[in-house]
Structure 1
Amino acid sequence: MSDSRLSGSTARTDLRTGPRDVVVIGGGVAGLVAARECARIGLRVTLLEAADAVGGAVASHTVGGLTLDSGAESFAVRAGAVADFVASLGLTEQIVMPNSAGAWLCLPGEGREAGAAVSVPLPRGGVLGIPSSPLAADVRAVIGWGGAWRAYLDRLMPVLKIGREHNLGELVQKRMGRRVLERLVDPVAAGVYSAPATDLEVDVVAPGLNSALTTTGSLSGAVLALIGNKPAGSAGSAVGGLRGGMSTMVTALVAELAHYGVESVTDARVQALERSGTDEEPTWTVTIAPPAAQPPAAQPPTAQPPTAQLVDDADLLSTLTARFVIVATSNRPALDLVAPLSDELATLTELDWPEPTAVELATVVIDAPSLDAHQRGTGVLVAAATPGISAKALTHVSAKWDWVAEAAGPGRHVLRLSYGRAGEPGSTEILSDAEFQALALHDAARILGVPLEKAAVVGFARTPWHGALSPATIGARERVHAVREVLADVEGLELTGAWLSGVGLAAVIPDALAAAGRIRHAALGMPSTE
């Protein structure tokens, strides 16, 4: 895998001496956002990242001569949170919308097509695949007349349950039947959350659905109420992106940190966090692991410009002191850091945290004029147990984003396939690069319905993502609440990140801003507004 990294974060031996106002542990998007928010009011901030570059899941790489997203490639447009933040970075004119062709589904064939994979457009006018109109033609194309009539019975069934529904999969099957669950909702759940619908908490993945269900008396009516009077857009169109890739946001963030004097230190794994100082003036001591103990970076690098002032202090620095600390890592490193601080924080490690899902992406750049017609829209979600296909999703990147198509040129296409489902071992980890490329090419040909030759491939990259833990699963909301509740009693310490906020930039950015906001208020001696 190649990358478009630029050199230049602060070396450990170049750190300035003296206490900081804030140390941010973790240089993913949450950490970068929190560091910027604190530094904007003049606080002295140091950001520590264990990998060799910042950005986390928002990263880029160069494949077949094209600079492409290797992680997150879009953001949910709901509430405008990301667009507002992007505007604050001066990138509003870079925001782009995807092609309106919409997404498709790849499903196990039935009847005469049994044993084959079939592809159909993902119906419009739904929420997580739950249809608002079960008898609509595009819904019937997926679940057939029998499945459609069973789903329509939802309109006639009373809502008997007192209280809230929790399990999305159980709710869908009870109200609309097995075919809606397996052929519509599960493929969407796997594509978005890497988990089956039976693992997902209703109130997390579909806020407002429970209330709408009680009000309207049916699941399809509840979906229609959530959609409102908005015209049904193409499936998968409620997202935006940035021309040049989402990693341009990270590049802009890093430049902002440099502007505000933030020290951004890579290859700096924090191994201990201690409370020090007095009750009146508490401080934190942050201990960085020796260089020899640094593990190899688990995530791909992100393009980044030079970031901070370099100060010659060769003795420094195994420890830092700060008035405030923001931990913005994934869940296990974060919990391991805070557990020694108190018995209450230690109990958080004993909660029933699930194993994270291992996901691996395959990016293929290929000369294939046969794909110019975009036969499968902007991408395809693959149902589990679809014959002959291991991938759970395919994004036709050059069909989805005009800027990628322009960069690639006529007849050249960018495909990205995703592997890894919750509860299953990483099936691609044991494959060599050549074997993984062959698998991706085979799956892409099956999903898109056109032959794709190895000789036509002009670039290939694999991107593993480990440690992803979705707070959308059953019980996750209670675990997150427990973390927030215990943390509220610890002055000067904040935790943020996708494992707490939810999946996607639309959840991560507001949560990081809120965490930084509480630190800002404490630093200025102001009461919190939250």
Structure 2
Amino acid sequence: MIDAVVTGNSLPALAAALDLAELGLRVRVVDRGDAVRALDGPALDGDGALRDLMAHLAAPIAEGDDVDVQVAPLLVPPAPVWLKDARGGWTRQPLPAVSGVPAVPLAHEALAVLGSGAAFRAYLDRIAPLLTIGKTRRLGALVDKRLGPRVRERLVEPFAIERFGVGAADVDAAVAAPGLNEAMSRSGALTGGVLAETDRDVARETAVVPTGGWDALDVALRRRLRAYDVDFTDAPPAAVERSATGWRVRDDAGTVTEARALVVDVGRSAAAVPPALDAETAEALRDVLQMMRVRTRARVRVIAPDDAPEDAVRLLRCVTVPGEARVGAQASETWAVRLERQESGHWVAMLAGPAATPDTDHTAAPVSVAALARVLEAAAVREAPGAEWMVLQVSAEVPTLEDRARERSAAAAFAEDHAGALLVVGRRVHEDSLAAAVQSAREGSVPLRRHLTGIAD
């Protein structure tokens, strides 16, 4: 018998496997391909979970070993984003800003994006009294009251739609910009609150990547796991059932493994419940996942936009297109389209669709490539010849405190019901955040390993 079977090899799953193995527990990992190497570009890491893992892997195992500089964390601060301006061209986003809300409404960039009339209206925030101190819940309503609807439409909406899949009117200010309402109350103006929160917002928006890239981290993580005698198998589970001592896992080759605990890697995809999991556990997990919103994200290489400024690296705009004729689809849908120039000089488009309601069928077919092409067309962008689409249906970031509490309560109840025997990891249960998924996996491994080592019941 082994101590734990890990059903996948995403970064959160391998991090949990390492935390178990470092205590001398016997761990087996189902290796389903280069999941870590499939990561693309820097990942947001507001609380430092990814930096902590990278620093841990970079540190030498034994005295005399060298530090692995290839997996040391490399911080990537947020780069300027260009938005469509009042004349139809591109202008750099006014900075400083928090969730698109500008601190200086009369700055050159703000005047270009808003127009002089809307910019002056926003400036009146500096002298308008606060009638309801820190009481406006929704970000859209807060911006409308203090700065005017044009600021919301041109500066705030693109970031809200890209991040949450809904408009700013449906996003809590406390979720989009924690501390902004309180800072506004202290400063006496929304723009003053933005200025006070800028440093904290930059820290939240700073991303991280291993110095040698995700490939280097994958190599280092696997090397570390093998140093602790972790067993890798490429045979996926065909059936996972409860047993008197924990779990019985039978793979495609017919090999049966008895394990005391199970780490279920639900990965990133919306259709995340492993088909081999026993019916009772699968149904309970499915109920939890069904409460979480999902959305489509897609990526494709495109031809460089004709009107892109030479020094622009990131362009962002929102477009509204007719919805597909499928269950849960809306008559019209608003998509965020972010264009990024790669180091190679090529451009890629990253499309973020509207967030579906929790009762939407998460197993439904993803948005068609034809529909995605219409989104690109609406954004005045063309696919590069021979380009291949990467399309995923993933978790959507929760826009309100109420929804966040509901989702976390359901996940916590599931975890408590299966404490000591089952740990669920993956971006699917953490609003598609890699950092949050890694942090949760490592924290969740603590009570699991305490149980497996006999420290706790």
2:272 corresponding residue in structure 1: 333
CA distance in 2, matches of 1:210, 1:496: 33
Per the normalisation by structure 1, the TM-score is 0.66
2:415 corresponding residue in structure 1: 487
Unaligned runs of 5+ in 1: 1-18, 61-70, 292-313, 399-407
CA distance in 2, matches of 1:153, 1:338: 61
Deviations 1:134-173 (A, max 9, x none): 33332222222332233344442425278682x4334333
1:256 to 200, 220, 224: 224
1:208 to 1:100, Cα distance in 2 relative to 1, 3 A: closer
1:48 corresponding residue in structure 2: 30
1:38 to 1:162, Cα distance in 2 relative to 1, 3 A: same
CA distance in 2, matches of 1:489, 1:426: 32
* Structure 1, 508-517 or 197-206: larger mean CA deviation: 197-206
Say whether the 8 Å CA contact 1:96–1:243 is kept in structure 2.
yes
The residue correspondences of 1:407-418 to structure 2 (distance < 5 A) are 408=344, 413-418=345-350
The one-letter amino acid paired with 2:259 is: A
Q: In structure 2, the residue corresponding to 1:507 is in which secondary structure?
A: helix
1:361 to 1:77, Cα distance in 2 relative to 1, 3 A: same
Say whether the 8 Å CA contact 2:341–2:347 is kept in structure 1.
yes
2:8 corresponding residue in structure 1: 26
1:222 has 2:193 as partner? yes
1:168 has 2:139 as partner? yes
CA distance in 2, matches of 1:204, 1:270: 40
1:102 has 2:80 as partner? yes
Q: Offset of 1:513 from its aligned partner? A: 1.3
Deviations 1:191-238 (A, max 9, x none): 34444334444444433334434444443333223224x8x97x9973
Percent identity of equivalent pairs: 26
Q: Offset of 1:392 from its aligned partner? A: 0.8
1:248 to 1:521, Cα distance in 2 relative to 1, 3 A: same
1:382 has 2:320 as partner? no
Per the normalisation by structure 2, the TM-score is 0.75
1:430 to 357, 370, 374: 370
Q: Offset of 1:453 from its aligned partner? A: 10
CA distance in 1, matches of 2:405, 2:163: 18
The residue correspondences of 1:154-233 to structure 2 (distance < 5 A) are 154-155=125-126, 156-158=128-130, 160=132, 165=137, 167-228=138-199
Q: Offset of 1:509 from its aligned partner? A: 2.1
CA distance in 2, matches of 1:212, 1:527: 43
Q: Say what the alpha-carbon RMSD is for the aligned residues.
A: 4.2
The one-letter amino acid paired with 1:176 is: L
Deviations 1:80-124 (A, max 9, x none): 3322322222254565455986221236xx5xx4xxx42111222
The one-letter amino acid paired with 1:395 is: E
1:420 to 1:263, Cα distance in 2 relative to 1, 3 A: same
1:245 to 1:216, Cα distance in 2 relative to 1, 3 A: same
Deviations 1:233-278 (A, max 9, x none): 7x9973333455434323332333333222334462566453x32x
1:360 corresponding residue in structure 2: 298
The residue correspondences of 1:106-505 to structure 2 (distance < 5 A) are 106=84, 110=86, 113=87, 117-155=88-126, 156-158=128-130, 160=132, 165=137, 167-228=138-199, 238-243=206-211, 245-266=213-234, 268=236, 272-274=240-242, 276-277=243-244, 283-286=246-249, 291=252, 315-317=254-256, 320-329=257-266, 330=268, 333-334=272-273, 340-341=280-281, 345=284, 348-349=287-288, 352-354=291-293, 356-364=294-302, 375-385=310-320, 392-398=337-343, 408=344, 413-423=345-355, 428-430=368-370, 446=380, 460-472=387-399, 475-492=403-420, 493-505=422-434
Say whether the 8 Å CA contact 1:34–1:513 is kept in structure 2.
yes
Q: In structure 1, the residue corresponding to 2:111 is in which secondary structure?
A: helix
The one-letter amino acid paired with 1:467 is: V
* Structure 1, 32-41 or 247-256: larger mean CA deviation: 247-256
